[in-house]
Amino acid sequence: MGTLRTLPDHELIDLLKSGEHAAFIEIYERYWTVLYLHARKILRNEAEAEDVVQEIFSSLWLKKEDIVLKSSLSSYLYSAIRYRIFNQIEHKKVISDYLKSLQQFIKEGEFVTEELYREKELAELIEKEIQALPSKMRQIFELSRKQYLSYKEIAEELEISEHTVKSQVSNALRILKLKLGVSAGAILFLLHHL
């Protein structure tokens, strides 16, 4: 497969769409660094930039059969990065606005209509991301964070190990953290206050 290095992008994409894993590796090696540097420049955060680029490549592999290139592969990947970053920034803004308004409420003791709207918008955003989790993970996460069952209780109810419960909750928080662009602590805080 040494010849893949000399192939143009459009031929690599054709191979990728037919399930050729070596073509995926070549695209990954060809574009990972430039996409990472681009993401880091916008996000100003190395870990977040890395997460976004990993997400783009995971999505590229999982949805390989559906890829439609309207122009070049590089512009397709750059657009995907920008879309994901702007989506993440938008999520962060919704959360940040809510936390600011909550601080205001704690200080002044009154909620106005705009704050209630923000709270509703944020609750919908978090719920949407929870519903997008894989079904088993979502079920475990909801039992833990919405019904407040212990890992032991969930393990007994679903007849699985406590270790599985713990790792599924941890994975759910990691996914939500990435999608919503905030820390796991902030997500747990918001789940308990919305």
Encoding tokens for residue 103? 């601080």
Q: What gap in Å lies between CA 52 and CA 36, rounded to an integer? A: 8
Q: What gap in Å lies between CA 17 and CA 43, rounded to an integer? A: 30
Please tell me the total count of domains within the chain: 2
In a domain, 43, yes or no: yes
Question: The pTM is what?
Answer: 0.49
Encoding tokens for residue 157? 């109810």
Structural domain that includes position 31:
2-86
Q: What is the pLDDT of residues 22-50, one digit of tens each?
A: 999 999 999 999 999 888 888 788 888 89
In a domain, 127, yes or no: yes
Is pLDDT at 111 greater than 60 in this prediction? no
Percent of all residues in the chain with a pLDDT value above 90, rounded to a whole number: 18
In a domain, 96, yes or no: no
Q: What is the pLDDT of residues 130-156, one digit of tens each?
A: 888 889 999 998 888 777 788 899 999
Q: What gap in Å lies between CA 24 and CA 60, rounded to an integer? A: 8
Please name the residues in contact with 45: beta carbons below 8 A apart, sequence gap of 6 or more: none
